[in-house]
Structure 1
Amino acid sequence: MADKLKFALALALVAAGVVGFYLLGEQPLVLRVLAVFAGVGAGVGVAALSAPGRRFIDFAREAVVETKKVVWPSRKETVQTTGIVFAFVVVLAIFLWLTDKSLEWVLYDLILGWK
């Protein structure tokens, strides 16, 4: 029950930041944006104190660790793969264009006789 209250409070703080943005309509934009950041920051802080928030933080840390284990492709491999994809797209576009024109010729010229 306490976690649900913390989560509700977190949502209320985020909503208060957004409402503050509109209530400070006459103030400079920097102050209005800071109100939103303050609301979101307070909401995230309160949400992090709940059990689901702690689980999410643990999950995010584990995701960062897993990301560091990934073997990312080199620049050369990335450029080569991108080139292959572009070449395939061009070939497929030409194939589809030829198919379309062939079907158009068969349908309109041969079958219907529209020239």
Structure 2
Amino acid sequence: MSQPQVETVSTGADKAKLAAAGVLLVGAVAAFYLLNQQDTWVRVAALVVGLAAAVGMFFTAEQGKQLIGFSNESWREVKKVVWPSRKEALQMTGYVFAFVVVMALFLWLTDKTLEWVLYDLILNWR
């Protein structure tokens, strides 16, 4: 029931918005380091404001809108998942542990049997 993929063409405005978001991101990091003589809260505020502006600019571009749409569809799909009850989860965990123990015993027994056949019976090394 997935919708057909629609290919969008990036316009010049979208490319400009993405470039501006990149410039804002680099500017925010640069401002953080260039303001090293200021108080820490001023540096952090400059960084946070710059990052928020970069994220805001990104989400106005077509790629940002697609990301928001993808996130909404993903959340809708997560809501459709039928999660097991606590009892079912504990039972399945017990089955897995039991299988691991049985498989470990089987592999140990196979290893010891092959060791006995090769070293004791065939090669007489012991």
User: Is TM > 0.5 for Structure 1 vs Structure 2?
Assistant: yes
Displacement after TM superposition at 1:32 (Å): 7.0
Distance 2:51 2:117 in 1: 62
Quick check: which one's helix share is greater? 1
**Higher-Rg member (1/2):** 2
Choose 65-74 or 9-18, whichever is displaced more.
9-18
Cα RMSD, aligned residues only? 2.9
Distance 2:99 2:44 in 1: 46
Question: Which of 115, 118, 122 is equivalent to 1:104?
Answer: 115
3-state DSSP of counterpart to 1:85: helix
Distance 1:6 1:35 in 2: 20
Distance 1:15 1:96 in 2: 56
Partner of 2:89: 78
Matched letter for residue 97 of structure 1: W
Q: Say if 1:99 and 1:55 are closer, same or farther in 2 by CA, change over 3 A.
A: same
Distance 1:31 1:113 in 2: 79
Aligned length: 114
Using structure 2 for the length normalisation, give the TM-score: 0.67
The correspondence of residues 57-96 of structure 1 with structure 2, limited to 5 A, is 57-96=68-107
Unaligned runs of 5+ in 1: none
The correspondence of residues 2-81 of structure 1 with structure 2, limited to 5 A, is 2-16=13-27, 40-81=51-92
Distance 1:105 1:31 in 2: 73
Distance 2:67 2:24 in 1: 19
Distance 2:122 2:28 in 1: 67
